[in-house]
Amino acid sequence: MPGPVSKVGWKIVGGAATAAGGAAASRSVDLAYRKIRRGEPRLDPAHPDTTWREAMVWALVTAIAVTVGRLAAERLAATGWVRATGALPPGMEAAAESLD
Q: Could you report the per-residue pLDDT of 14-25, keeping only the tens digit for each?
A: 889 989 998 999
The pLDDT tens digits for 31-84 are 888 888 777 766 677 888 888 888 888 889 889 999 999 999 999 999 999 999
* Residue pair 92/13 in contact by the 8 Å Cβ criterion: no
Residues 6+ apart with CB under 8 A from 9: none
Q: What is the pTM (predicted TM-score) of this model?
A: 0.73
User: Residue 21 has what DSSP assignment?
Assistant: H
Give the Cα separation of 54 and 9 in Å (integer): 41
Q: At what angle do helices 52-85 and 4-37 cross, to 10 degrees?
A: 140
Neighbours of 69 (CB within 10 A): 21
